[in-house]
């Protein structure tokens, strides 16, 4: 890696770039441009670093955006690669991790779910799966959403009767669970189906997910006829139900993927300087859902440039299919295809079909993308109007770009949690949500004011740190607190402890109305008289929705913490007890409570428990 020295304060961006240019080789690589507070401005790749960077040594011929980037550059870093293909893959990875201001950016980067048939157990399990493929078994996907997987799994359970329970639940069962009662599991846990027959069900499920649905339905229909002829009417009825379930899955295919075994379809729609990329997933000749993305980019970017950057980032940590169909041929499509082929270890083709069924599928994706973008633009216009009203209501200088809303949750002082949700021009930003476990031992259980003080101290210590490092995106334009004048005073006191005043942060608290009636809320701001909004005001409904979302998030965080505490086992607190000894103790005594009541001699009877460990266990529960 090569880097520029710290620049003189008088150096312009062009001077910095020229200084680096003299040391650059004419080789492929990746370059990064840094601005004030070492912010990454841009990540780019080049076939020749020297030639590419030389284009930045003059302002003429660039868009206004690129010219601003050049002037803001204070230093540069470079990584030389063996090939331009390697540079493309590294560029995509760095853009995703660094999120530079001037790059086209894929904003929604969640992993897509798969269906996994686990084969590392005598009774295969079928589950929804995300993450790296570490478990042994067969993976089918990706699916567009968790909902698409859940619906498919629900139907597959009816059709193939495979278990979804964890191994620990499976091994502990002594009688069939409710899923068997409602005919969604064959109950291999208690031996109601032979191992070979259950394996056959798992194999059939895998065949269906590989696209052999027609053959499988014919096979099941023949088995149903034979069972009926043999007057095995109960077995025939079960097969009939399975056939119906398979038909439901196939009927849900609202995209005709006939003739395409495996492909991802990308269609871009643009309007008003914004874009939407619609993605269809086709696997095993079946539609496995669709998703839409809204990449971040400047106005004036071309469809081909946006699609090229989007594809490179989309497949950074995902395996590409053999065929990628696009509405517009992306810039440098041959290079991108070569990079994907190298990554996948097989040929990956990028095509823009002009006719036939494939063109029909791309056309359908284009229509879906255009409709999604129209809806988003309409929502954005409505959101912009609401944010203007918020600014007017609370005397803000400009419509807020980032609103943080806070609420606390607990039950009689236990499992105290503070919650923060974030909203802005694009609605709720769930990636920015945070929860705060109350850590201060001096906080009296159930003291909402003390909880709010701790949450605000921690939040604004971090916000000040971010701002000192040049990251101003996390600084709130408005802080909305669920509560009355007491909560507002607690927040004012807390931000004062970290060196801020109400003039530095726009603080508002929203108190529930008389008899807690929605529509009668009172609003409090430092130094101002409390006021209400008209009951039919759209901005009131918006503020209520913000408050309710913070309430929902805080309650959810509290419930999760409470559930975790309930599941805690006192044996986990004793040193020297791992999973194996814990299991042995629970199997021998039946419960942790019984272990706590056991005599020292009885503890020593358990396999793996030495005399010293038995004394430690006994001492833990009988410290007096």
Q: Write down the domain spans for the chain.
A: 2-98, 114-251, 262-375, 402-561, 570-621
| DSSP 8-state class, residue 175 | S
pLDDT reported for residue 573: 74
Q: Please, what is the end-to-end C-alpha distance for the chain in angstroms?
A: 62
Q: CB-based contacts of 29: which residues, under 8 Å, 6+ apart?
A: 45, 46, 49, 78, 79, 80, 81, 87
Are 116 and 126 in contact by the 8 Å Cβ rule? The answer is: yes
How are the residues of the chain apportioned to helix, strand and coil, as percentages rounded to the nearest 5? 45, 20, 35
Kindly report whether the peptide bond that precedes residue 142 is cis, defined as omega within 30 degrees of 0: yes
CA distance 185 to 178: 9
Q: Tell which residue, 45, 139, 146, has the closest CA to residue 92.
A: 45
Class of domain 2-98: alpha beta
Q: How many CB atoms within 10 Å of residue 307?
A: 28
CATH number corresponding to 570-621:
1.10.150.20
Which residues are within 8 A (CB) of 545 and not within 5 positions of it... i.e. 6 or more apart? Answer: none
Count of residues making up the chain: 624
Residues whose CB is less than 8 angstroms from the CB of residue 386 and which lie 6 or more positions away in sequence, other chains included:
538, 539, 542
Specify which residues 281 forms β-bridges with: 264
Distance of CA 21 to the CA centre of its chain: 40
Are the beta carbons of 480 and 543 closer than 8 angstroms? Answer: yes
CA pair distance 416, 436, nearest whole angstrom: 9
Residue corresponding to tokens 């539609």: 287
Contacts of residue 89, Cβ cutoff 8 Å, sequence gap at least 6: 312, 316, 339, 342, 343
Looking at residue 148, its pLDDT comes to: 76
The alpha carbon of 256 is separated from its chain's Cα centroid by a whole number of angstroms, namely 29
Instruction: Specify the DSSP class assigned to residue 232.
Output: -
Provide Rg for the chain, Cα atoms.
30
Please give the distance of CA 113 from its chain centroid, rounded to a whole number. Answer: 10
Nearest to 205 by CA among 190, 219, 216, 220: 216
Question: 402-561 with 570-621: one CATH topology?
Answer: no
What is the 3-class SS of 422-486, one letter each residue?
A: EEECCEECHHHCEEEECCCCCCCCCCHHHHHHHHHHHHHHHHHHHHHCCCCCCCCCEEEEECCHH
CB proximity list for 550: less than 8 A, separation 6 or greater:
405, 406, 407, 419, 420, 421, 480, 482
**What pLDDT is stored for residue 183 in this prediction?**
83
Q: Are strands 40-46 and 29-34 parallel, antiparallel or unpaired?
A: antiparallel
Q: Quick one: three-class SS letters along 30-87? A: EEEEECHHHCEEEEEEECCHHHHHHCCCCCCCCCHHHHHHHHHCCEEEEEECCCHHHH
Question: What per-residue confidence (pLDDT) applies to 234?
Answer: 75
* Calpha distance 340→338 (Å, rounded): 5
Judge whether 307 and 326 are in contact, CB under 8 Å.
yes
Burial track 364-399 (b if 16+ CB lie within 10 A, e otherwise): bbbebbbebbeebeeebeebeebbebbbebbebeeb
Residue 446 backbone dihedrals phi, psi, to 5 degrees: 90, 0
Report the CATH architecture of 262-375.
Answer: 2-Layer Sandwich (3.30)
> What's the longest Cα–Cα distance across the chain?
93
Separation CA 179–CA 54 (nearest Å): 66
**For the chain (length 624 residues), average pLDDT per consecutive 10?**
45 83 90 89 93 87 83 91 92 89 79 86 89 81 78 81 88 87 88 90 85 72 81 77 67 58 91 90 80 88 92 88 93 92 91 89 91 87 91 93 91 82 89 88 83 92 83 87 91 91 91 66 91 89 92 88 70 79 79 80 85 86 69
pLDDT at 398: 93
Do 128 and 141 meet the contact criterion of CB atoms below 8 Å apart? no
Q: DSSP states of 181-215 as a string? A: HTTS---GGGTSS-HHHHHHHHHHHHHHHTT-HHH
What are the Cα distances from residue 389, in Å, to 79, 118, 473, 509, 594? 48, 53, 22, 17, 62
CB–CB of 435/417 below 8 Å? yes
The class of domain 402-561 in CATH terms is alpha beta
What local confidence, expressed as pLDDT, does residue 245 receive? 66
CA distance 352 to 367: 16
Q: How many CB atoms lie within 10 A of CB 574?
A: 18
> What three-state secondary structure class fits 281?
strand
């Amino acid at each position: 890696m090569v880097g520029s020295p710290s620049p003189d304060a008088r150096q312009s961006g062009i001077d910095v770039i020229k200084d680096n240019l003299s040391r650059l080789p004419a080789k492929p690589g990746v370059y990064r441009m840094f601005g004030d507070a070492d912010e990454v401005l841009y990540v780019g790749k080049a076939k020749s670093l020297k030639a590419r960077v030389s284009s930045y040594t003059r302002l003429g011929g660039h868009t206004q955006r690129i010219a601003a980037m050049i002037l803001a550059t204070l230093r540069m870093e470079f990584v030389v690669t063996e090939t331009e293909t390697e540079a493309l893959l590294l560029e995509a990875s760095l853009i995703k991790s660094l999120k530079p201001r001037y790059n086209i950016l894929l904003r929604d980067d969640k992993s897509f779910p798969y269906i996994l048939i686990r084969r590392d157990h005598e009774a295969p399990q079928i589950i929804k799966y995300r993450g790296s493929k570490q478990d042994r078994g067969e993976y089918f996907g990706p699916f567009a959403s968790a909902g698409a997987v859940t619906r498919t799994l629900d139907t597959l359970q009816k059709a193939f009767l495979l278990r979804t329970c964890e191994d620990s639940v499976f091994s502990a069962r002594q009688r069939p669970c409710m899923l068997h009662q409602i005919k969604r599991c064959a109950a291999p846990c208690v031996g109601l189906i032979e191992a070979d027959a259950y394996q056959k069900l798992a194999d059939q499920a895998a065949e269906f997910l590989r696209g052999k649905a027609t053959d499988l339905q014919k096979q099941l229909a023949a088995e149903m006829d034979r069972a009926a002829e043999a007057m095995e009417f109960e077995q025939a009825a079960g097969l009939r139900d399975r056939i119906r379930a398979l038909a439901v899955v196939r009927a849900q295919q609202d995209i005709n993927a006939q003739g395409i075994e495996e492909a991802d379809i990308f269609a871009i729609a643009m309007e008003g300087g914004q874009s939407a990329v619609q993605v269809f997933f086709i696997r095993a000749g079946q539609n496995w859902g669709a998703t839409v993305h809204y990449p971040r980019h400047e106005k004036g970017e071309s469809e081909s440039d946006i699609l090229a950057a989007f594809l490179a980032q989309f497949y950074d940590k995902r395996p590409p299919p053999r065929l990628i169909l696009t509405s517009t041929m992306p810039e440098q499509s041959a290079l991108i295809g070569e990079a994907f082929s190298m990554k996948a270890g097989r040929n990956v083709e990028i095509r823009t079909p002009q006719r036939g069924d494939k063109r029909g599928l791309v056309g359908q994706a284009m229509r879906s993308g255009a409709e999604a973008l129209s809806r988003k633009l309409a929502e954005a216009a409505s959101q912009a109007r609401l944010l203007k009203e918020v600014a007017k209501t609370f005397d803000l200088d400009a419509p807020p770009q980032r609103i943080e809303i806070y609420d606390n949750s607990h039950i009689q002082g236990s499992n105290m949690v503070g919650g923060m949700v974030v909203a802005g021009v694009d609605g709720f930003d769930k990636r920015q949500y945070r929860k705060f476990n109350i850590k201060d031992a001096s906080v009296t259980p159930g003291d909402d004011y003390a909880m709010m003080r701790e949450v605000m101290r921690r939040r604004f210590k971090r916000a000040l740190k971010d701002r000192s490092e040049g990251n101003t995106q996390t600084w709130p334009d408005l802080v909305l607190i669920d509560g009355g004048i007491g909560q507002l005073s607690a927040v004012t006191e807390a931000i004062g402890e970290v060196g801020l005043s109400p003039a530095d942060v726009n603080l508002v608290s929203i108190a529930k109305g008389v008899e807690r009636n929605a529509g009668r809320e009172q609003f409090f701001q430092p130094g101002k008289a409390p006021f209400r909004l008209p009951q039919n005001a759209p901005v009131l409904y918006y503020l209520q929705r913000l408050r309710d979302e913070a309430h929902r998030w805080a309650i959810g965080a509290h419930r999760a913490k409470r559930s975790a505490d309930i599941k805690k086992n006192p044996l986990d607190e004793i040193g020297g007890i791992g999973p194996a000894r814990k299991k042995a103790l629970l199997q021998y005594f039946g419960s942790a409570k019984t272990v706590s009541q056991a005599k020292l001699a009885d503890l020593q009877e358990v396999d793996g428990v030495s005399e010293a460990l038995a004394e430690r266990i006994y001492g833990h529960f009988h410290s007096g």
